[in-house]
């Protein structure tokens, strides 16, 4: 019993092709990876927008903006 196509090395090496686990589940793995990829972007864009919003609320005072544009910060 093995997750890979091999459960021992008593083989003719010239006949061995695939060596990764769960052969036959490639489409499922791709679906999982694509979902993770898209979910990451959804999280990231929300995170980035919230960061800008918080930065403006916390730090964009007229005093900070004056200092930033006069080179004091």
Partner 1 sequence: MDTDIGALTVVFTEFYYWITVALMFLIHVGFCMYEVGASRQKNHLHTLLKNTMLIPLVTITWFFFGWWIYWAFAGGPGITGGIGHPDPSFAEASVPWSEGMGPRLDDRITGVFWAAFLLFAWTAASIVSGAVIERIRKFAFWMIAILIGSVTWSIDAAWGWSYGGWMVEILGYHDAYASGVIHAIAGGCALGVLVVLGPRLGKFAPDGTPRDIAPHNAWLVCIGLFMIYTGFWGFYVACNVPVATTDFIAGEMTGVTQTATTIYLTPTTLGAITMNFLMSLAGGLMIGYMVSKGDAFWTYSGGLAGVITASAGNDLYHPIQALIIGGIGTAIAYKMHFWVERRFKVDDAVGAVAVHGYAGFWGLVIAGFVLWGHPSSPYEGFATISPWGQFIGAIIMFWVLGFIPGWILAKILHGAGQLRIPREVELLGLDFGNMREAERARQEVLSTEQAAL
Q: Using CB under 8 A as the criterion, which residues of the chain lie in contact with partner 1 when the complex forms?
A: 13-14, 16-20, 23, 26-27, 29-30, 33-34, 37, 41, 44-45, 48, 51-52, 54-56, 58-60, 64-65, 68-69, 73
> CA-CA distance, 65 to 68, in Å (whole number)?
5
Q: What is the C-alpha to C-alpha distance for residues 24 and 22, in angstroms, rounded to an integer?
A: 6
In sequence order, what are the residues at sequence separation of 6 or more whose Cβ sits closer than 8 angstroms to the Cβ of residue 18? 4, 5
Measured from the CB atom, is 1 or 37 closer to partner 1?
37
Write down the least CB distance from residue 54 to partner 1, Å: 7
């Amino acid at each position: 019993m093995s997750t890979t196509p091999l459960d021992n090395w008593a083989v003719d090496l010239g006949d061995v092709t695939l060596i990764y686990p769960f052969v036959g589940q490639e489409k499922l793995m791709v679906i999982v990876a694509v979902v993770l990829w898209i979910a990451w972007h959804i999280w990231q864009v929300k995170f980035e927008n919230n960061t800008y919003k918080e930065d403006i609320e916390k730090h964009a005072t007229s005093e900070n903006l004056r200092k930033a544009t006069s080179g004091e910060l």
